[in-house]
Amino acid sequence: MGMMGLRVVALSASPRGERSRSKKLLRSLLDHFQGHETLRLDLEDHDVRPCIGCFTCCREDRCPLDDQANLIKERLSSADIILLGTPVYFISPPAQLKAFLDRTLDWAHRPHMFGKPVAALITSAGCGEDTCSRILKFSAESWGASWAGHVHISIHEDPDGEDVGERLEAFAARIANAHRQLKDHPPTPEPGPFHRQVIEPVIRAHPDFFSLDHSYWKDRGWLEGCSNDK
């Protein structure tokens, strides 16, 4: 695929074990990255509890919930390319994946994944993949990463069929291309519109409560150029 020594990490969100289509398809997608270091993570094998909204991750860079969310976060952080495989549940990712995404609030406050493509493989019975994709895109961009798009495979399609195979191959090529573009033209590590509109005002309004975030932003020069800078 013309890339050397990449680390591709694929997180599968379906709770259905070996019966899962999205997991099977995610594996097929990952097969297109042969020759690279690939890692498959099944969310269902990990203990990831829902966020309790204490903001400790923003304030102290740690989470009081003693589970495996951090392990997954470390794996994703170490990736060059992140793939998310998920079914649609009520036009969104399943609660298990949403719980994990909520646990990345510190990444939204202190984005660090600049230049990293994130792509999703979504399965559904035919509705809600656009909303689901939007949630995943929002998450990726909140981490500072670059959204490389999604591929949707419906339950009415044959996962072993030629058509699906071709779409997965094309999608893998698109992801590899996104990675190449980001390598050739690395984006400036800076807050995006979401960070500017949502995170920055909160950090500015509560610099003592969010002192860790505040220093993170200040150290990177992200708080410069505004009259009420603290």
Binding site for ligand FMN (CB under 6 A): 14, 16, 20-23, 87-91, 123-128, 155
Q: Report which residue type is found at 123.
A: T
Instruction: Output 24 or 110, the one with its CB closest to ligand FMN.
Output: 24
Instruction: Output 89 or 147, the one with its CB closest to ligand FMN.
Output: 89
We find the least distance from the C-beta atom of residue 138 to ligand FMN, in angstroms, to be 18
Partners of 123 in the beta sheet? 87, 153
Instruction: Output 3 or 99, the one with its CB closest to ligand FMN.
Output: 99
Instruction: Output 18 or 162, the one with its CB closest to ligand FMN.
Output: 18
We find the least distance from the C-beta atom of residue 86 to ligand FMN, in angstroms, to be 7
We find the least distance from the C-beta atom of residue 100 to ligand FMN, in angstroms, to be 16
Instruction: Output 1 or 91, the one with its CB closest to ligand FMN.
Output: 91
Instruction: Output 95 or 205, the one with its CB closest to ligand FMN.
Output: 95
We find the least distance from the C-beta atom of residue 175 to ligand FMN, in angstroms, to be 19
We find the least distance from the C-beta atom of residue 114 to ligand FMN, in angstroms, to be 30
We find the least distance from the C-beta atom of residue 48 to ligand FMN, in angstroms, to be 17
Cβ-based neighbours of 157, under 8 Å, separated by 6 or more: 163, 164
Burial category of 184 from C-beta neighbours within 10 Å (exposed 0-12, middle 13-18, buried 19 and up): exposed
Q: How far apart are CA 81 and CA 147, in angstroms?
A: 11
